[in-house]
Amino acid sequence: MAQDMSRRDFLKLSGAFVLTGNPAGPAPSARKTVRIPEADKIVITVIADNLADALRPHDRIARRHEVASSVLEFGLHAEHGLAYHVETEVDGRAHSFLFDFATDFQGVGKNMALLKLDLKGIEALVLSHDHFDHQAALIGLLRTNRADIPRRIPFFVGEGFFSGTYFKKPGGPAMSLLALDREEVEGLGLVEIVVVRDPAPIVPGAYSSGRIERVTDYEQIPPVFVRKSGEELVPEEFAGEQAVILNARGKGLVVLSGCAHRGIINTVRHAQKMTGIGKVHAVIGGFHLSGAGQELIRKTIADMRDIGPDYVVPAHCTGFEAVAAFAGEMPGPFILNTVGTKYRISA
């Protein structure tokens, strides 16, 4: 946070509604438009993702990982997981936070070292949703870097976190997706858990989305995702899933997604509605189209084309078929994501 502004002051000026207990507040339809301060610079570093490619060239806003002394520095870890380091610059002041934390701490830690990411200056931790591939590395990250991470750093989560989600195919067992243990997280004495329901400021230039409205008729949550309600398993709605929304000066919105279980088009339209900004500069992250049928992929791409982002960067859970379709149908905006890529957006 800026040295002359406390986090509490920042939240007051931003009109944020955040809670450290159970969320409450107006229904999504009653929300007011939020003003995200324009960032003169945004840098999004992909710490972890499914694809590593040491030979991939730079591509417009995408700067690929470069090595200093040895080709072994190209050896970034790829996995079924996602993690980002996000930087903004607003009014001449730099800010940074982590968004999602991936699965394998040893791999994530190796990547952070190779990418020379400094955790001493981060101001917040943000989790998109409570699945292993976005948070299993968090506890190890906190324990190993406890000397560098600021004490009582805010940890933004959505409503209903820590309750657990399960993966269940018809006739099969319910497999836990390994929700974080709230007592274990708090027991480290490092973070202050902040539960958000409505859009909330993370750092200047970046907001957590709050609850994402579902407005499309085709972006349905697969029935294999369930949660416990008493002794019964009921459909999981991912009401607490968060995206990160940034505002690039003179360019428009940057929408950063974890998995977009509630739909990537719903997520982008939510960002437009919550900010009142129609122009979208970039959509980056998991689109959750792996294994999806061609009709769902076709409708998603058609609506993304109508939205008209300058860049579209499908990652993680988007799936090969959908990534290939975006590359074929939106070749101008499309960028292939790889571990270690830095997306640099400047005014």
The predicted pLDDT at position 124 comes to: 98
Is 270 a member of any domain?
yes
The predicted pLDDT at position 16 comes to: 44
pLDDT > 80? residue 311: yes
* Among 135, 144, 43, 156, CA closest to 81: 135
The predicted pLDDT at position 308 comes to: 98
Is 189 a member of any domain?
yes
The average pLDDT across 154-176 equals: 95
The predicted pLDDT at position 31 comes to: 64
* Among 169, 107, 92, CA closest to 140: 107
* Among 239, 244, 243, CA closest to 260: 243
Summarised one tens digit per residue, pLDDT across range 208-265 is 999 999 999 999 999 999 999 988 999 999 999 999 999 999 999 999 999 999 999 9
The predicted pLDDT at position 23 comes to: 40
User: Number of structural domains, the chain?
Assistant: 1
State which amino acid sits at residue 122: I
- The residue count for the chain: 347
Is 28 a member of any domain?
no
pLDDT > 90? residue 15: no
214 neighbors 44 (Cβ within 8 angstroms): no
Is 198 a member of any domain?
yes
Is 281 a member of any domain?
yes
The predicted pLDDT at position 5 comes to: 38
The predicted pLDDT at position 168 comes to: 96
194 neighbors 154 (Cβ within 8 angstroms): yes
The predicted pLDDT at position 347 comes to: 87
The predicted pLDDT at position 134 comes to: 98
Q: Which residues 6+ apart lie within 8 Å of 165 measured at CB?
A: 129, 130, 131, 177, 179, 225, 226, 227, 236
Q: For the chain, what is the mean pLDDT? A: 92
Under DSSP, is residue 154 helix (H, G, I), strand (E, B) or coil? strand
Q: Is 168 exposed, middle or buried (0-12, 13-18, 19+ CB in 10 A)?
A: middle
Is 1 a member of any domain?
no
pTM: 0.92
State which amino acid sits at residue 114: L
Query: In Å, what is the CA distance from 234 to each residue of 39, 130, 207, 225?
Result: 41, 17, 30, 9
Q: Which residue has the higher pLDDT, 82 or 160?
A: 82
Query: In Å, what is the CA distance from 86 to each residue of 21, 24, 188, 233?
Result: 26, 28, 24, 36
Give helix then strand counts, H and E, for the chain: 8, 19
Is 260 a member of any domain?
yes
Q: Which residue has the higher pLDDT, 114 or 29?
A: 114
pLDDT > 80? residue 342: yes
| HSE value, Cβ hemisphere, 13 Å, CA-based, for 157 | 25
**Count of C-beta atoms within a 10 Å radius of residue 92:** 7
Is 2 a member of any domain?
no
The predicted pLDDT at position 34 comes to: 97
Structural domain harbouring 138: 7-23+37-346
pLDDT > 70? residue 1: no
CATH (domain of 136): 3.60.15.10
The predicted pLDDT at position 26 comes to: 41
pLDDT > 60? residue 2: no
**Count of C-beta atoms within a 10 Å radius of residue 290:** 17
pLDDT > 60? residue 30: no
Summarised one tens digit per residue, pLDDT across range 43-101 is 999 999 999 999 999 999 999 999 989 999 999 999 999 999 999 999 999 999 999 99
Rounded Cα–Cα distance for residues 31 and 22 (Å): 18
